[in-house]
Structure formats: structure tokens, C-alpha cells
Amino acid sequence: MPTRRQFLYGCSALGGLSLARPALASGAGADTKFIFVVNYGGWDPTRVFASEFNNPQVDMERAAGEGSIGDLVFVEHADRPNVSGFFQRHADRSVILNGLLVPSVAHENCLHLAMTGTSVSTAPDWPAIIASRDIDRYALPHLVVDGPSFPGDLGGVVTRTGSSGQLEALLSGDIIDWSDLATQAPGTRAEDILDRYVSQRVGAEVFNADYARQRALNEAYQSAMDRSMTLKGLLGVVDWGGGTSFPEQLSLAVDALNLGISRCVTVAYSSYSWDTHTNNDTDQSRNFEDLFSSLIDLMDRLEAADLADDTVVVVLSEMGRTPQLNATDGKDHWPYSSALVVGPGLLGGRTVGGFDSYYYGRRLDLGTGDLDDDGRDLGTDIMGATLLRLAGLDSEAFLPGVGVLEGILK
Amino acid sequence: MVTLLASLLPLLACAPEGKAPPSTASVDATSETSETPGDTPTDGTSATDGEGSTGTTGEAEPPPAMDPIRLLFRTSLDLRGVRPSLEEIEAVEADPAAIEGLIDGFLLDPRFGERVVSLYSEIYLTRLDSYYVKASDYDLGDEPVFAASVGQEPLRILAHIAENDLPYTDIVTADWTMADQTLADAWALDFLEGDSAEDSAADSWRQARYTDGRPSAGVLTTNSMWWRYMSTASNGNRGRANAVSRILLCSDFLQRPVEFDRDVNLLDEDAVNEALKTNAGCVSCHYALEPLASYFWGFYYFDYDSFLDTTDYHPERERLWEDYSAIAPGYFGEPGYSLTDLGRQLAGDARFPQCAVEQAYGLLLQRDVTLDDTDRLNDLRGAFLDAELRMRPLIRAVVDAPEYRAGPTDDERYAAWKLSGPDLLGSQLEDLTGFRFTSDGYDMLSTDTVGLRILAGGVDGRYVAAPARAPTATMVLVLERLAEAAAEYGVQRDRENPDEARLFTEVDFTETPDTDPEAVTAQVQRLHLLLFGERVAADGPEVEANLALWQELYAIDRSPASAWSGLLSALIRDPRFLFY
């Protein structure tokens, strides 16, 4: 028979996230935070990132032109002043990756490939890996405001806010008022008592576990409970329920980083769809202008919060679009795309990679970032390995043999 | 940068008392178990064998079997979504072998079908929150009900097959579907004759048949499947072909590495079509995918968000493959003409029953199947074939497997601990307390837009395709609020209807530990028995701790009902409730 102490109070030796512990990660990038901006549906790189005006195989917009700031080459258009405006202000910290290979043309698979570098369903995504290294420093290591999350076996580091204010309502207890059946939440005092009791019980289960798996499961519960209590402590400080529109998502992302509760935040551009099988030019132009308007605002917020020098913003879509318009003025799915990475640790002001005459991605010398037909395809795995390096992680430990695009790193 | 972390530290910290966690081997084996008479497994071995060991299992030594009471809870939850009754617990306490008959009963329980729906939703991924076509298109007012009904159609076919001991091949050959009144109101469906009157409730699912002349091929000819797995002209139903291969053959084309041949001009349609037939890198998948895809043109929609185009099957479009791919329908080399042919071909494929076995095994063990499982899967396949491809015997064989029935072990082949997902949390709390969390008609544990499904560790069918296998912060929060709401509701229910009380039979909510310690103690013991299957001693640490909690809660407003509600919510949040 367990003693009362074992049943209930053994947790005192173990309970609670030790947020004061030093970070597991160390070295350059160990403090770098990340915001992943996912653009679901498949964007058309030729509207902003891929200047293919000399490629007869590619339908470029007639009114568009090539813009450049140093070695950063992009596509300008009078209808997209925010795109040009963004690069004018942030070119020095921006790298455009062109010819990014996402070896599929199915949305869900491409999304997985873009975020994990593999189609293996159990592989964790980049933000989960990065966040998992600093689990003791952040209450919510990876906050998913909207968009995909592929946590693999790192689910414990991922927290979703929900899209209708669910997290806010869960934290406050107001969610119980949503019930169609009449019931009510306990008062604050009772809630505190109950939280303490349950926390002790979970700690006791950790303490008394005879098996490593059993202990790990209960430790996951304990850690999750600690995080939930941290979240409760932030009720009223963070507007958890406000992240429904894309600008609101970005605002919440900055708040989470600014408060030091998250290392990675995933948001999803949600204003319009990128899957433009029809009306490609009109819709992509609108989307990019809207996206970059929000990105300008995001950078302003990061700068105002003194976070710009600590935060990498990764802007990607799961696939590209065919170079030529189809019969309905749309473009279909294409396995080569582009991504934009903005932030510290980068040799910014540069467009890396490119497309060949078939609009396939060109190969690179990873060491320099220069085009090299004898080099490597720029796959999403290489992009991911490079992001892990930016985060101060040993990418080889997670993606052995993949290689890092050293040429874009300081 | 200003951070609030420093001010939050006291909230998170649990003051250490200078005692390090014990090594696995150093913990007293008796510390985990309580006074459960059912500690003797049905095979006669001691349930505590090995619990004080190093926690590692020898190469050839299987772990000890799970104790019968715990197995009773696990099977009851897995097969009917609720915890066992007091009578069932007592029956197994009296005779551990009685559990085998009870499991047979669980498989016949009316709630078994709901479990099939829930379990296989992780594979079919059809339970989306919304579809391109809305309830309002059909002048139906209840959008969440409509979406829920659409998402369940193929799962209900599977459940009907399982519940009625129909051959599993019906999943791709049946000339019927399943519908509730919502689907019947929206689509061209007639319920089959002979349905009994008691099944006519609006939310009941009944056999039905499409009346638009579509072929008969089980889930292959349901609107729900192809609303979930839409296609475009350029995709040419390849996504649908892959969905069929993934779901019914356990072969996902998208899991294969893809190498794009740089010598093929993807901009040249003729070159691409030629490459799909001749280029080794393309042919490896497309030789099978293209003909499979060509079966689905009858479900091709020119206007995928129009109910006018997507409600009915289009026989006139069946041969559109001639225009789009010029590759005739076929199944791995065997030609066919209609989805009925595809159903027959799938049903005759040796991979088809093998896949069913792998899915049942993986779902009930809550893990991916590996090569190490080959022998067990072969055994299960034999049992499935011997049972003429009926699902109940297959599921029975899985729950009989040592990997399912293992007691504590660190060997990951064995499902020593499992985690309750949102469906399971919802169903068992409803059974215990009467509380079902709905909001404006939305089932909060099976939707995401306004609900809590993925926050509670579930899958949304699109972004989140695999359930959480360990607690997350939001899962813990959902459990907390669900526990609070259900406990409060359950206390009120039992208080107002004492003759029908499920949980609170020992008190009438006037007693306190001071006025009637025997009754209060008995009630705590009853809660432990019904929730955890544990008989705790009246003077044991569990009761002592629970009474202390009760008193603390009671001190707030001097309300025994509130104290009981709080205590019950704490027990629901206990790890022994979440892990099973």
C-alpha cells in the first residue's frame, strides 16, 4: 500500500517546470526565436521571388519588372507596393531561396515536406524540433496560433490556441459557459485548490513510477500541467482569443515571443487562399500585397519589442505553381517553390538559387550559395537543416547527411 | 526586453524537498498497486510480477499480463467507450476468468459501433469541420450537424459491417450506404425497407441507397469520401486513388521518395504523359496510380463548391479519363470499367485483409505497426480469414494479443499504457455523469472551429492527421474544464435523482466527514472503484488525501455538493483516469 505521502505528496521532489534552469542549447543562435508564416495552398513564386523575365517558358505578368537591392533580386509590380516596401526596409536581413524542391504536388504531403523535410509521418517539424531543445526555458516552446503542426513525438512542446478563442475560454473557465447543458465552473479559490491537488497527484505518479515509459508519460502530464498553469497566469496579459485574423495572429506571435513564453510560433496566412487554379494573377497579386503589408507590420512590431535581432521569420508555402497559365487563367501545382527567410544570423540582401529553362530548381554549392550544376538540389530538408543551424542546433543530429546551406549564414 | 517569466516562477515552482527521483529499480513494488482483489490475472500469474524489477523485459520474456480489473477497464473503454459498471467489476473480482465473457459482451454492446467510428476516423480522416458544400445549400439549418453527418458516412458503413458481422469486403462492395435523416434530406437517398421503427430517430444511422444510379461499391461510391478527397482536372483523381490505396491497402504512394528527372520537361504535356509511362522514376508510382485514378471520373466535379454539381454521381463523366489522361481504369494491371469493378478488385487483393489487420492492431495498441509485429500480424490475419473477414472476431483477436494485454513494461511493443483521446473522454464522462459537452449544437470534442478536438489531442483530418500520444498543455486544460463541467453536472443529476444515481449512492449531499464519516468515506471508496477499479481502504492514504481535499473545498462555501463536485473533478483529472 502506498503511503499518503507517496500517493499525494511525493511530487514535491519533482513537480514544476524548472524555468530557471539554463538552456540546454548553447552557442550561436541558442537564443534565436522563430516565427513560421505558412501560406497554405501553394503560392506563385514568379509574382515576388522568382524573376524569370528571360525565361520564355514562364508566364510573367506584363506590368511586372525586376527589382533589386544589392544581390537581392525580386519581382516588382505597381499593384504590390508593400512587396517593394518590405524589401526596401528589410533587404539587408532577408534571403530569398529560389528553386526550393518540394518533391510532391499534393497539398498535404507538400506541407509535411516543407515543414519536416520528409514524408515520414512521424517526423517532427522544424519549429517543434527547435522548441524541444529549449523546453526548460519556455512555458510554451512552440505556440501554434494557426496552421499546420507536425509534432511527431514532440507533442508536449506544442500548444494550439484554437481559432475561435477556445484557449482563452479554457484558461478563464468561460468555456463551461458555452455548454448547452447547465453547469458551472468552480470558483477561483476552488480552482487553485484543485490545481494544486492534481499537480501533486501527477507528481506522485512520476515519483512512484516503476517503469521508464510510465514515468515519461506522467512527466509529460506534469509538464503539460505546468504549462497550463503558466498560461493561466498570463490570462489578461496575452489576448489569446484575438488571433483569428492574420494580423491578429502576428500580434499574438510577437506577444508570445516578447513575454518570453515561446521560442517558436506558427501562424498561417488566412486572409485568402493561395490555391489559384483559376485567376492566378489577380489572386496571387492581392495575396502577396496583403501578406507583405502584414509582414511589414510584423517587422515593425518585432523592432518595437526589441526582438528583431533575435527573431528569424520564415515565410513559406508548401509548393509552387506551374510556370504557365492554364485555360482558366490559373496555375496548377508545381514541385519547385521559393521561401523567404528574414532575421539575424543570415548573410542577408541576397537571392539564392534559381530556376532553369524548364522552371526546375537549379542546383547550388551549399558552401557558397552560388548556382552550381554539380551541386545539390535545394530541398526542404536542406532548408530545415539550415534553420536548425540558425537556431544553434547541430543539424547533423536531426538530419544526418543532409547538409546546411552555409553560404547564407554569417 | 521585458519578460514576465520572473514573476511567474512561483506559480510554476514546486518546492524541492531534497529528494531525488528514485531509480527505476529502487521503488518499492507495492507502491503502485492498491488493494485490488483482482490483482490475479486470468492466466494465474501474479499481477505484480515484475513490477519491482528493473522495468526492462528480456528478449524472450514477455511482460506479465495486465491485471484483470485493469484489463476490464481497458477493454470496456476501447470497445464501448465507457468504464465498467460496479456489477462488472465485482464479477471480475469474484472470478477473473469472467472477463472473457464480458469482453464478448462489449463487442455486442450497442456502443461498439461508435467506437469503430471513432477509432477508424484516424484512418479515413473524413470528419472535417466543414466542406465546400454547406447545409444551407440544401435549406438545412444546422451546419455542424450536417458537417458531422457528412464526415461519418463511410465510418458508419464500417461500423454497420462490424456490428452486423458482415464480411469486411462489404466496405468496397456493398450496394448500400449509411445515412441519418440529415443526409437523407440533403442527398438522393432512400432508406432501405425493413428498418425498424425505433431506428427512425433523426440522429440514428440506417442503411440507405443512393437513387442517382451510381455503381455499388461501398465507401467507394459515397459522397462523403469524395467530398473529403476532392480532385481537380490537373490532379485527375490521383489524390483519390492514393486515398483508396492508403486507407484500404495501407500503401501510401505519398510515403515513397520522389525523384524528379531533370531531363523531363514538366511544361510539355506530351513529354509528361510519356514520362509517366516510360520514365522509371515516374512509372514506379504512376503505373498503378493512373489507372486507379481513372475509376473516379464519375465523381469528378467541374464546380466543386456547388451542391448542384457535387450531390449526384455523374455516369456521363465516367469516361473523362479519355480526355484527361488517356489511361483506362485498371487495378495493378487488371482492367476494369466501373467502381464496382474496383471494389471487387480490392476485395480480392491479398493486401486488403492484411491492411485491415494492421489497422485494427495499430489502432488498438495506439502505435504504428513495425516489422517486429510480423508474426503477430500473421496470426491475426489467420484469425481474420478463419472468421470469414468479420471484424468483431478480428478485434477480439487483437484484444486477446499479449501486446494488448501486457502489464507494466518498458518494451514498446506492448501497449502497457494508453491515452484517452477526445472521443473517449467524452463518451465515458457522459456515461458517468450524463454530461455531454455541446455548444450551439456543436459537439465540442469532435469539432475544431469552435470546439476542442485537436486541443484535446484529436485529429482534424487535414492539418492534424495523427492523435497526440502524450498529454499536451491544451489537452490538460480541456480535461480540466471537461472534468469540472461534468462533475458539477453529475453531482446535480445524482442529487436531483437519487434513485437513479450513478456515482453518488452513499451520500445525499448533506453529510460531512464530521457528521457522517462512514458515509463520506464509503462514497470516496465508491468513486475510486468506479473510476479506477481500485478498492481503497477506509483508513488508506487515498481516502485520507481525498477527505482533506473535500474539507478544503467545503471550507469555501460550506456546500457538500460543491465539495463533492470538486473532488470528482480532481479524480477525473487523475493520471489513472487519463491513462488506461
Confidence check: pLDDT of B436 > 60:
yes
Output the CA–CA distances (angstroms, integers) from residue A92 to A87, A88, A305, A347, A352, in the order listed: 8, 9, 19, 8, 14
Distance CA A305, CA A316 (A): 24
A116: confidence class by pLDDT, cuts 50, 70, 90: very high
A103: confidence class by pLDDT, cuts 50, 70, 90: confident
Distance CA A234, CA A232 (A): 5
Contact check, Cβ <8 Å, B259/A261: no
Output the CA–CA distances (angstroms, integers) from residue B61 to B57, B58, B361, B377, B481, in the order listed: 6, 5, 21, 19, 42
Mean pLDDT of B20-24: 32
Mean pLDDT of B75-99: 98
Confidence check: pLDDT of B195 > 80:
no
CA A193 to chain centre: 36
Is the distance from CB of A350 to CB of A344 less than 8 angstroms? no
pLDDT confidence of residue B273: 78
Mean pLDDT of A343-370: 96
Using alpha carbons only, how large is chain B's radius of gyration in Å?
Answer: 27
CA A196 to chain centre: 33
Higher pLDDT, B61 or B314: B314
B40: confidence class by pLDDT, cuts 50, 70, 90: very low
Give how far A70 is from chain B: nearest CA, Å.
31
Of B14, B255, B468, the CB nearest to A15: B14
pLDDT confidence of residue B463: 75
Contact check, Cβ <8 Å, A13/B18: yes
Contact check, Cβ <8 Å, B489/A8: no
Distance CA A11, CA A2 (A): 14
Give how far A394 is from chain B: nearest CA, Å.
25
Q: What is the DSSP letter of A92?
A: G
pLDDT confidence of residue B442: 87
Contacts of B556 in chain A (CB under 8 A): 187, 189-190, 193
Put simply, whether B312 touches A (Cβ < 8 Å) is: no
pLDDT tens, position by position, A178-228: 999 999 999 999 999 999 999 999 999 999 999 999 999 999 999 999 989
Distance CA B473, CA B12 (A): 14
Q: What percent of chain B has a predicted confidence (pLDDT) above 90?
A: 74
pLDDT confidence of residue A243: 65
Interface residue of A18, A157, A172, A175 to substitute, partner B, most B CBs within 10 Å? A175
Mean pLDDT of B38-55: 36
Contacts of A306 in chain B (CB under 8 A): 1
pLDDT confidence of residue B199: 53
pLDDT confidence of residue A4: 52
pLDDT confidence of residue B11: 24
- pTM assigned to the model: 0.84
pLDDT confidence of residue A3: 59
Distance CA B160, CA B204 (A): 12
Helix axes B391-400, B68-80, angle to 10 degrees: 150
pLDDT tens, position by position, B259-275: 777 788 877 778 887 88
Distance CA B447, CA B426 (A): 12
Is the distance from CB of A126 to CB of A13 less than 8 angstroms? no
Give how far B453 is from chain A: nearest CA, Å.
10
Distance CA A231, CA A173 (A): 12
User: What is the value of ipTM here, to two decimals?
Assistant: 0.85
pLDDT tens, position by position, B312-335: 999 999 999 999 888 999 999 999
Give how far A53 is from chain B: nearest CA, Å.
17
Confidence check: pLDDT of B244 > 60:
yes
pLDDT tens, position by position, B460-501: 887 777 888 889 889 999 999 999 999 999 999 999 999 999
Confidence check: pLDDT of B93 > 90:
yes
Q: Nearest chain A Cα to B53, which residue?
A: A210
Of A18, A214, A221, the CB nearest to B408: A214
Confidence check: pLDDT of B167 > 70:
yes
Output the CA–CA distances (angstroms, integers) from residue B114 to B13, B156, B180, B199, B291, in the order listed: 42, 8, 14, 15, 35
Interacting residues of B31 by C-beta distance below 8 A, sequence separation 6+:
A2, A6, A208, A210
Is the distance from CB of B289 to CB of B277 less than 8 angstroms? no
Instruction: Supply A253's cell numbers.
Output: 506571435
pLDDT confidence of residue B38: 34
A5: confidence class by pLDDT, cuts 50, 70, 90: low
Distance CA B404, CA B394 (A): 13
Q: List strand residue ranges (DSSP E) for B304-460, in order.
A: 330-331, 334-335, 438-439, 442-443
Confidence check: pLDDT of A49 > 50:
yes
Contacts of A103 in chain B (CB under 8 A): 257-260
Contacts of B3 in chain A (CB under 8 A): 258-260
B16: confidence class by pLDDT, cuts 50, 70, 90: very low
Is the distance from CB of B475 to CB of B468 less than 8 angstroms? yes
pLDDT tens, position by position, B100-131: 999 999 999 999 999 999 999 999 999 998 89
Mean pLDDT of B186-190: 95
Confidence check: pLDDT of B1 > 80:
no
Interacting residues of A50 by C-beta distance below 8 A, sequence separation 6+:
A58, A75, A98, A338, A354, A355
pLDDT confidence of residue A8: 56
Average pLDDT, whole number, for chain B?
87
A21: confidence class by pLDDT, cuts 50, 70, 90: very low
Confidence check: pLDDT of B28 > 50:
no
Q: What percent of chain A has a predicted confidence (pLDDT) above 90?
A: 75
Distance CA A380, CA A318 (A): 10
Mean pLDDT of A356-362: 94
Q: What is the DSSP letter of B443?
A: E
Mean pLDDT of B49-74: 69
Q: Over B520-579, what HEC string results?
A: HHHHHHHHHHHHHCCCCCCCCHHHHHHHHHHHHHHHHHCCHHHHHHHHHHHHHCCHHHHE
Instruction: Supply A41's cell numbers.
Output: 495552398
Give how far B192 is from chain A: nearest CA, Å.
34
Contact check, Cβ <8 Å, A231/B471: no
CB pairs under 8 A between A and B: 329
Average pLDDT, whole number, for chain A?
90
pLDDT confidence of residue B198: 52
Give how far B423 is from chain A: nearest CA, Å.
17
Mean pLDDT of B338-362: 98
Interface residue of A100, A221, A238 to substitute, partner B, most B CBs within 10 Å? A221
Q: Which residues pair with A101 in a beta bridge?
A: A336, A379
